[in-house]
Amino acid sequence: MTDRAAGLNRRDFVRLGLVAGPASLAAACGWDGGPAIAPRLRAISRLNDWVGEKLLLSPTRLAPEYPVSSRTAMSQFPMYSITFNRTRHFPLPPDGWALEVGGLVRAPVRLTRPMLEALPRVTYTVKHHCVEGWTAVGTWTGVPVSAVADMVRPTHEARYLRFDSFDSRYSNGWDLTSAMHPQTILAYGFNDHPLMAEHGAPLRLYSPIKLGYKLTKYLTGMTFTRERPGGYWEDQGYPWFGGV
């Protein structure tokens, strides 16, 4: 399959929707179709990812921003953690925490929280979209992933990013176009306050162009890779691209 979009007409998009839609619904509901059709659903899910990444994603189109007055109340903004679900406690960062940035790069780096806060920052108030269907509006502050990429200088072989965490080994992978989007940030602030443990402190991935399960919290590493990384939910059947 080639990266050609110009020849697609309305009928082509309808056909793509007919095959890609069921895969997304099945994954979101936690159903893999059983051994008879699971491989077909996985193949359709890969097509869905291709449609999102190659045809629908714009590296420059921005998600809408909202006035601060539209923010969801802090007490009403849902919180989620794999560790919390298992232990009823949010995970705490390891001693000497820092973000390790490496992989297929020319200048790997270890970034502490003060080092991250000294880099160029972005603040926006945007809508958060969960795969379960709810939305909430919040203000996020952090450093663009693209700024960190400029520091480490990925090699020409790098095609993806893997984000790792200390939340029960939660991780996921991103395509570089999504990761370099101007609204994709490493967030250390939420609603004008330092990021709290229940929302992923000390550092989390954030972008309004992705569903919530793609926004890894409790970050420990950012690794540039040649092969497409899996992920906690993606390996269980959720769409890999996870775009909004």
Tens of pLDDT, residues 151-209 = 999 999 999 999 999 999 999 999 999 999 999 999 999 999 999 999 999 999 999 99
| Separation CA 34–CA 64 (nearest Å) | 39
- Say how many C-beta atoms besides its own lie within 10 A of residue 57's C-beta: 16
From residue 124, alpha-carbon distances to 24, 139, 141, 195 in Å are 28, 5, 7, 14
What one-character-per-residue DSSP string does 112-153 give? Answer: -HHHHHTS--EEEEEEEE-TTS-EEEEEEEEEEHHHHHHHH-
Backbone region of residue 80 per phi and psi (left: phi > 0; alpha: psi in -120 to 50; beta: other values): beta
HEC-encoded secondary structure of 37-74? HHHHHHHHHHHHHHHHHHHHCCCCCCCCCCCHHHCCCH
C-alpha–C-alpha distance, residues 164 and 218, integer Å: 8
Task: Select from 14, 7, 86, 27 the least CA-distant residue to 234.
Answer: 27
Cβ count within 10 A of residue 2: 6
Contact present, 179 and 145 (Cβ < 8 Å): yes
**How confident is the model at residue 58, as a pLDDT?**
74
For residues 179 and 160, give the distance between their C-alpha atoms in angstroms, rounded to a whole number.
8
| Tens of pLDDT, residues 25-36 | 444 433 334 444
Amino acid letter for position 39: P
In this prediction, residue 59 carries a pLDDT of: 76
Residue ranges for the chain with pLDDT beneath 50: 1-45, 47, 50-55
> Which domains are present in the chain?
10-56 (no CATH), 68-236 (3.90.420.10)
In this prediction, residue 49 carries a pLDDT of: 54
Angle between helices 34-50 and 10-28 (to 10 degrees): 130
202 cis-preceded (ω within 30 degrees of 0): yes
